[in-house]
Homo-oligomer: A and B are copies of this chain.
């Protein structure tokens, strides 16, 4: 079974030395997480992950979830106790408002700790993640009464949440959805229809499950304009707020899936179930979208987290597995063979994962910090800038970090050779689990379209211009520094490719929209490389600054950072040119064949 050590040191480096976390002590919640407190929280999150959560991962995969004839679903035996410890530690409400039982800490801290826990057990943490999505929706759109009814139970009481969007004939295209809502006359609605792919739709880890369900009120407009969001609990709360009468919602079946076996993926049948409108009638999509940024960042984090866990397992194996000799002569002549970490091609795999993970972590935290600023700053301009950056970077964090996370799981499995293909070492599980993050919460092709079609042109390109300026200024400011020059040069090259790609889109996609669609995935990955490269620029600069004043025993940490950053610039960044070349080819050859030719 793979081992895992939460990268607390690395998180602290990013927060304190790269992003200047303490500068934000004027924002709500930040003052409550000074450097000492921050380190204590991360350390406690690491402890829970390593001792409690991660040890349930493999068992969860093997045992999976089982639906019984009465529609109930049991989760892997070890899950409940681990989830209870998570709840008791107050982790569910880490960033939730104190008035509902939360701790009101920054979303950034929640993000940092969530990475560890997802590395430990992605399927288990999904029960928490979906609940946090429901909490966010209720905070944003709930009436005072709704907040009082549901939030304390979700934050502290162990009730869990779900998101019910997909139907058999409608996934990405929600305009097609058919689930109906009929007013009951008492302010509630009767919800009927079938939803599929509902993660955590039914399970045995909570006293109640709060479903947020998209449905169409009788007589509502067709398409996406006629969709509303409803709160539909498994048990209707009684007068005391405790779970009372069973509602007309049940799990019809659970899916056999490639991975995340510990999380029940349910077909949910709604049969005149009682529900209450959340937010405005016909405003369901809008309400869902307010949760979207954080939900998508959460999925991006899954990519990073599983990729990191896989990397760590591969690194341990590469240090221990003896096979062959170094090309430069035996490194451990007294042993029958050298550890495979001596082989450059194994190093290539490890360094690729490492260099992308470390910058991916920085990018996830950078983006989470923008979310905090956007929600908590008193300064309107600061909020707007942060919200721009958050919106821009969300599809990139989701689309790029999940693609990379899956690639990393596959690469780590390759380090194990045949031992990676059998289930015993857990490497296959990483691959199977990581795969879903590229699909749900908007498939990555949808993220790319969101970036190109919505985020790029929004406010006349304000967000992207600000990002280009920030990265460009960084390159310019550090160009004269001989130690930084190799890094800024490579980053500038990537930025130039990105700007050329953006220009190409402006010139070619307006009148021919297929050119935007044809470019979108390459553009997203090109953007991702520049964003990761920028994180490397910041991290290398912080490391050089620290070494310049003397880092003592910690010097190797900073030296290793610089080497890893160099590897990224040399070996990962050059891909930008290929993305630019591809997308500049346009849509013609892509769209030329008639559909029946395929």
Contacts and interface: CB of A to CB of B under 8 A. Distances in A.
A351 B589 CA distance: 9
Contacts of A410: 406, 435
Contacts of A342: 595
Interface stretch (A184-192, A254-262, A543-551): A254-262
Interface string A494-528: 00000000000000000001101110110000000
B556 A590 contact: no
B424 A598 contact: no
A503 to B, nearest CB: 18
Interface residues of A, number: 95
Contacts of A345: 445, 448-449, 517-518, 520-521
Contacts of A341: 595, 598
Contacts of A166: 418
Contacts of A344: 514, 516-518, 520, 587, 590-591
A172 B423 contact: no
Interface string A363-378: 0000000000000000
Contacts of A444: 414
B421 A257 contact: yes
Contacts of A328: 513-514
A439 interface: yes
Contact of A418 (B171, B315, B406, B421): B171
Interface in A543-593: 556, 560, 563-564, 566-567, 570-571, 574-575, 577-578, 581-582, 585, 587, 589-593
A378 to B, nearest CB: 41
A466 interface: no
B172 A593 contact: no
Interface stretch (A19-27, A44-52, A302-310, A318-326): A318-326
- Please give the count of copies of this chain that the complex contains: 2
A36 to B, nearest CB: 27
A432 interface: yes
A82 interface: no
A318 B594 CA distance: 13
Contacts of A445: 343, 345-346, 349, 414
B436 A421 contact: yes
Nearest to A583: B571
Contacts of A40: none
Contacts of A516: 327, 344
A339 interface: yes
A222 to B, nearest CB: 10
Contacts of A354: 598
A197 interface: yes
A347 B327 CA distance: 44
Contacts of A563: 589, 592-593
A177 to B, nearest CB: 11
Nearest to A318: B598
A329 to B, nearest CB: 9
Contacts of A414: 438-439, 443-445
A459 to B, nearest CB: 22
A322 B410 CA distance: 31
A171 B417 contact: yes
A461 interface: no
A422 B255 contact: yes
A57 interface: no
A89 interface: no
A421 B439 contact: yes
Given A176-B336, A344-B590, A345-B445, A423 B323 contact: no
Contacts of A322: 169, 173, 176
Given A341-B595, A413-B435, A577-B578, 19 more contacts: A171-B323, A197-B418, A255-B424, A256-B424, A258-B422, A258-B423, A315-B598, A319-B596, A327-B516, A344-B517, A351-B590, A406-B410, A414-B443, A418-B440, A431-B435, A563-B593, A571-B582, A571-B590, A574-B577
Interface of A: 166, 169-173, 175-176, 196-197, 255-259, 265, 315, 318-319, 322-324, 327-328, 336-337, 339, 341-351, 354, 406, 410, 413-414, 417-418, 420-424, 428, 431-432, 435-436, 438-440, 443-445, 448-449, 513-514, 516-518, 520-521, 556, 560, 563-564, 566-567, 570-571, 574-575, 577-578, 581-582, 585, 587, 589-593, 595-598
6 contacts: A172-B324, A173-B323, A175-B337, A328-B514, A348-B521, A414-B445
| A-B pairs with lowest CB-CB distance, top 5 | A344-B517, A570-B585, A574-B581, A327-B513, A315-B598
